[in-house]
Amino acid sequence: MCGFVGVVNLKHNISNEKDTIIRMNNTLKKRGPDECGYYTEDNVLLGHRRLIVIDPDGGKQPMTYQYNGNTYTIVYNGQIYNTKELKEELIQNGFTIDTTSDTEILLKSFICFHENVVDKLNGIFAFAIWDSSNKKLFVARDHFGVKPFYYAMINDYLIFASEVKAILEFPGIKAKLDKQGICELFGIGPAHTAGLTAFKDIYELKPAHYFVFQQDGIKMHRYWKLKSYQHKDSFGKTCEKVRYLLEDSIQRQLVSDVPLCTFLSGGLDSSIITLYAANYCKSNGLPPLNTYSVDYVDNDKNFVKTDFQPNSDNYYIDLMLHKVHTNHHTVVLDTPELADALEDAMIARDFPGMADVDSSMLLFCKNVKNDATVTLTGECADEIFGGYPWFFREDALQSGTFPWSIAISERQQLLNPAFSKNINLKDYIDYRYNESLDDVEILESDSSETAEKRKISHLTLNWFMQTLLDRSDKMGMYNGFEIRVPFCDYRLAEYVWNIPWEIKALNGREKGLLRYVMKDILPSEIVDRKKSPYPKTWNPTYLKKVKEMLSKIMEDKNAPINDLLNREYILEILNTDGKAFTRPWFGQLMTGPQLMAYLCQVNMWLEKYKPEIKV
């Protein structure tokens, strides 16, 4: 896992602009703390920061290879999980393989298969390959956008990078916030519309897309999407195939030349990952697996049961430890840490995010990084198998909007009245919501329930899951720490997408099929455990801390948040401990203290990035 930057100008010689690429690359030190490399030509500048995971000596980047008189150079962030199969195919096509690095496999696969290489890859990836002879750049991003890729065009320059902060280092590119950006931040945020950022003229390469940049500009292509077809497998065959695809995905992702672990919350998803990973270590004669969980000071005293978080983790973690006998470690975070890390979490995302849901993940990864460099997590199981409450709640299904973000009127009220009269968040949200649903393929053979759940699944996969994947990548890589997501294997997602809802939600349960598949190999209490999200602090001192932070901001009438948001409404939120904002800002956990923390992040973001605001 790494970070990269690049600048291409096909009309002018830019080889003397290396200082620019160095400044851009230096912003990504946290993504790649182990090595740094550059490649320059008349029309291209490439930079790379490396986090060493596979083949320390053979995986250096930028990597260059000459073939049939042409020179190809790659910068790449990710991990290819089917390198063994690709290696065999390359050898059959006359290539020699000199390292164990997946970077070499990826570069030579592109040379062999050209643009069709994206149809060959199983992994998480964002990469750019420069073809010197043809003056052509090829870039691609993985199926679900686990790894990031941002770009901008200014004059004759194409600028790209793993993070927005690197692009903002390019001369002439400034942070700008227009009407669409405000709608993204406060209508959609902390999610975002695929392909966009909140900054004007800075774009994201959409998941499952690639583009070619030549003299005639950018030509964009979509290479994959979830396709709907009638599911014909028997129930027994369906269970067998789900089990196979899941186990295969986990085992492929256990490859590493550096210490590897799993995150274990005692929930169904992380327990599945840990079970297969621990068994793999045992059967291959490896040391016992290291597992990690996160908790908070005094959470056991202050935990409050809710519909969204019905129970705490510790009892279930102990059940799993008796089952798999891993070396388990608990990272305990305190309230001041969570609040103090809000700014780092915002910088990691380059945007206001999920408040302490982000900062706690950042701190968790920071602690685990002391012992390991790679982890496997249970992320994405809820999206793939239908695990969220909104799959079952009629009010959410009938909301006519994104079910994790229904506080539309409250969001509108949060805007500064000077902007609010010119910006209709509901119109923007409705447009994006309907635009997304137009992409769903419903079959005539689908039952009404399956058709309805295809729509909500599509929204969840393409919006909510993307937000969590962004969180995992940015919070992990801010610490030079790689997070892998086996449930996000595109083969598993393709298969489960077409399983009828009546089977997917077997026995009327969230993730009912997944529970059934695991019922004989996991403790029954874990199989039956109701979904519980990533743990948050229940310590009342957190509310006190973020309230103090936000109050201090609001005492300064020149604080930039006052230019963008409704000062009177924020004061009302403060005075009611967040209760004036009647529904969660986002998802299941962003209420009261989290909303105040989010507002603190907004002010931090405005102070650091100083966007020029034009509506």
Which sequence positions are flagged as catalytic? 2
- By the 10 Å C-beta count (0-12 exposed, 13-18 middle, 19+ buried), 102 is classed as buried
DSSP state of 415: B
Return the structure tokens found at 5.
Answer: 């930057």
123-131 vs 136-141, strand pairing mode: antiparallel
Helix H segments across 354-464? Answer: 356-368, 381-385, 394-397, 408-414, 417-420, 425-437, 448-459
Cis peptide before 190 (omega within 30 of 0): yes
DSSP state of 35: E
Q: Are 49 and 2 in contact (CB under 8 A)?
A: yes
Residue appearing with tokens 């990597």: 63
Helix H segments across 5-65? Answer: 18-26
Residue appearing with tokens 């009912």: 512
Helices then strands, counting H and E runs in the chain, come out as 27, 19
Rg of the chain's alpha carbons, rounded to an integer? 24
- Smallest Cα–Cα separation from 284: which of 318, 313, 248, 254? 254
109's CB contacts (< 8 A; 6+ apart) are 86, 90, 117, 120, 121
Distance CA 43, CA 309 (A): 54
Distance CA 108, CA 91 (A): 10
E strands, 9-107, are 35-40, 44-50, 63-67, 70-80
> Taking the C-alpha atoms of 136, 138, 139 and 144 in order, what is their torsion angle to the nearest 10 degrees?
160
Cis peptide before 62 (omega within 30 of 0): yes
483's CB contacts (< 8 A; 6+ apart) are 365, 375, 377, 379, 472, 473, 476
Return the structure tokens found at 522.
Answer: 């996991």
Other beta carbons within 10 angstroms of residue 245's beta carbon come to 18
Helix H segments across 114-220? Answer: 164-167, 179-183
Distance CA 110, CA 117 (A): 5
**What is the side-by-side strand order in the sheet with 123-131?**
63-67, 70-80, 123-131, 136-141, 209-214, 217-222
Return the structure tokens found at 514.
Answer: 């997944």
Whether the CA torsion 355, 356, 361, 364 is positive or negative: it is: positive
